[in-house]
Amino acid sequence: MRLTLKVVPGSSRDQVVGRLGDAIKVRVSAPPEKGRANRAVASLLAAFFDLEPAAVRIVAGGAASRKIVELEGADPAAVSARIDSL
């Protein structure tokens, strides 16, 4: 399953905020340098969706605030329900 994200690095805390248009807004405290924010996003999403860290992969937008991530083995209904609960 793939999700489109709007990532805000350098925030005060790590959090999945909710829907923002066609994307999911995510805040991470890591700075956008040397892949730190990308690693923080992957870690946050793995914990949020109860997945193994290796199951979350950024497939597009590695250097941009708008990213596409792939959640390997995630149940789309469960992912959607988890996002809707925010």
CATH number (domain holding residue 31): 3.30.1200.10
Average pLDDT over residues 47-74: 94
Q: Which two tokens stand for residue 82?
A: 């988890």
- Which domain range does residue 15 map to? 2-84
Q: What is the dihedral of CA 77, 67, 44, 84, to 10 degrees?
A: -30
pLDDT of residue 43: 96
Residue 77's alpha-carbon distances to 1, 9, 25, 51, in angstroms, are: 10, 28, 19, 14
pLDDT of residue 79: 92
33: which residues sit within 8 A by CB, 6+ positions away?
Answer: none
pLDDT tens track for 4-45: 999 999 999 999 999 999 999 999 999 999 999 999 999 999
Give residue 71's pLDDT band: very low, low, confident or very high (50, 70, 90).
very high
Q: Which two tokens stand for residue 28?
A: 């991470």
Total structural domains within the chain = 1
